[in-house]
Amino acid sequence: MFAKVRSAAVTGLQASLVSVEVDITNGLPAMHIVGLPDAMVQESKERVRAAIRNAGASFPMKRVAVNLAPADIRKEGPSYDLPIAVAILAATGQVQLDRDDRLYLGELSFEGDVRPTNGVLPMVALARAEGIEEVIVPSANAAEAALVPGVRVLPADHLVAIIAHLAGGAPIAPLEPRDPLLLEDDVDESVVDFAEIKGQEHVKRALEVAASGGHNVLMTGPPGSGKTLLARALPGILPPLTLDEALEVTTIHSVAGLVRPDRPLIRRRPFRAPHHTTSYAALVGGGRKPGPGEMSLANRGVLFLDELPEFPGNALEAMRQPLEDKVITISRVQGSVEYPANVMLVAAQNPCPCVGKYHSAESSRPGTCHHRPAARRPGAERRRPAEGPPLPQPLARARPTTPRLPCPLWRDAVGDRPGDRRGRRLDGGAVGERRERPRGAPTGTPD
Q: What is the pLDDT of residue 286?
A: 84
Average pLDDT, the chain: 82
Least confident piece of the model among 31-35, 51-55, 423-427: 423-427
Confidence of residue 334 (pLDDT cuts 50, 70, 90): confident
pLDDT digits (tens, 9 = 90+) for 111-160: 999 999 999 999 999 999 999 999 999 999 999 999 998 899 999 999 99
Q: What is the pLDDT of residue 382?
A: 45
* Portion of the chain with pLDDT greater than 90, in percent: 51
Confidence of residue 387 (pLDDT cuts 50, 70, 90): very low
Q: What is the average pLDDT across 187-201?
A: 74
The larger pLDDT score, comparing residue 224 to residue 362, is at 224
pLDDT digits (tens, 9 = 90+) for 197-252: 888 888 888 999 999 888 899 998 888 888 999 999 998 889 889 989 999 999 99
Query: Is residue 414 predicted with pLDDT exceeding 50?
Result: no
pLDDT digits (tens, 9 = 90+) for 255-304: 999 998 888 899 889 999 999 999 888 999 987 788 899 999 999 999 99
Quote the Cα angle for 327-330-333, to 5°. 155
The larger pLDDT score, comparing residue 400 to residue 344, is at 344
Q: Domains of the chain, with CATH numbers?
A: 2-178 (3.30.230.10), 194-350+385-435 (3.40.50.300)
Q: What is the pLDDT of residue 426?
A: 58
pLDDT digits (tens, 9 = 90+) for 272-282: 999 999 988 89
The larger pLDDT score, comparing residue 178 to residue 364, is at 178
pTM for this predicted structure: 0.81
